[in-house]
Amino acid sequence: MKHFRPDPSRTQIGLAYGPPALACLDALPDALDYLEIPFEQLRHTPEAGDVQQRIPLILHCASVSVAGTVPPSAQTFDAIAATAARLRTPWIGEHLAYVSAEGLDDEGDAIAPSALTYTVCPQLSEASVARVIDNYAAARARLGATPLLLENAPQYFEVPGSTMPMSAYIAEVLAHCDAGLLLDLTHFLITCVNTGVDPGRELKRLPLARVVEVHISGMSTQSGVAWDDHAVPAPPEVFDLLRRVLDEVRPQALTLEYNWSGAFPQAILQQQLLRTRALLEAA
Ligand SMILES: [Fe+2]
């Protein structure tokens, strides 16, 4: 099995696991340093992990629900920890979001928690920061030695009760947790577009020195609202933001997330890889 080894002298480039990534691995094996694979995928289709015979894997996760009110079960925590140990992932990237909620039956009575299967932006408030701090500490205690990175969620609307912008929320959480930042630049841009703030100004308010990994993917606009879209290429604004980030910090890893469509064109994927690598080398 191959394992990811951080290299302080350069940012390593990977793709989010999926048919386009596997096709690219066949066509251009030397262009990729790693694949990033979701814990949930490995839990349901363990054979997906066989690709680690060819390329290192980094573990991504959407099961901790670190900003939520429903913690994962002990079984889920144990499975994440076991998967991280087996992969020898350098870290676990988890969304700074809630992905599970209390289930309710038709009468409104509580039933087993249900996964929303979508990373939902939390209320941006001191109360929510306090919850994240507690949930993060619990997750660290359960997940063993593997570090956790927290990934900024895309914001589609202001959650009622919010008292601060996303940049302040992230800064406040990281001031109280030892997590690294998984900076999803597309989520960040979406948040700025949807909340009407200037991305360049907001970027300066993030704790960029804490960035360990960067995510890049596409964005779509629907009825005037920007949405996360891993089936289209990243817009130029995302690469402008990447240049600004590289002025401040050298991330250990950069993942292109083009994993929502098996029909994502290989030519565009490979061109984006080359563009990103050139940008990293020029920084
Ligand atoms: Fe992401």
- Please report the pLDDT score of residue 104 as a whole number: 65
Give the length of the chain.
283
Closest CA to 59 of 90, 13, 30, 29: 90
CA of 137 to the centre of ligand 1 (A): 22
SS3 164: coil
Its sign, for the CA torsion 117, 238, 92, 157, is negative
Mean pLDDT of residues grouped by 10 in the chain (283 residues)? Answer: 94 96 95 96 94 98 85 90 96 88 68 62 94 96 94 93 97 97 98 96 97 97 93 96 97 96 92 93 89
Measured CA to CA, the distance from residue 92 to residue 31 in angstroms comes to 23
Q: Which pairing describes strands 148-152 and 57-61: parallel, antiparallel, or unpaired? A: unpaired
Report how far ligand 1's centroid is from the alpha carbon of 7 (Å): 22
Cα 257 to middle of ligand 1, angstroms: 7
* pLDDT tens track for 107-148: 767 665 556 556 778 999 999 999 999 999 999 999 989 999
Q: Cα of 13 to ligand 1 centre, how many Å?
A: 14
> Does residue 256 contact residue 217 with C-beta atoms inside 8 Å?
yes
DSSP state of 233: P
The count of domains in the chain is 1
134 CA from centroid of ligand 1 (Å):
23
pLDDT the model gives residue 131: 95
| Domain-embedded: residue 120 | yes
CA 222 distance to own-chain centroid:
22
Within-domain flag for 265: yes
Structural domain including 180 reads: 12-282
Q: Is the pTM of this model over 0.85?
A: yes
Report how far ligand 1's centroid is from the alpha carbon of 216 (Å). 7
Q: What is the C-alpha separation between 265 and 272, in angstroms, rounded?
A: 11
Task: Count CA atoms within 13 Å of residue 94 on its CB side.
Answer: 27
In a domain, 248, yes or no: yes
On whether residue 7 sits in a domain, the answer given is no
Structure tokens at 199: 């991305």
Does residue 89 sit within a domain? yes
CATH number at residue 248: 3.20.20.150
- DSSP 3-state assignment of 119? strand
Per the domain annotation, does 256 fall within a domain?
yes
Q: Is residue 269 part of a domain?
A: yes
Looking at this protein, which amino acid is placed at residue 237?
Answer: E
The two structure tokens encoding residue 138:
């619990």
pLDDT in tens, 92-103: 999 998 776 666
Whether 6 is in a domain gets the answer: no
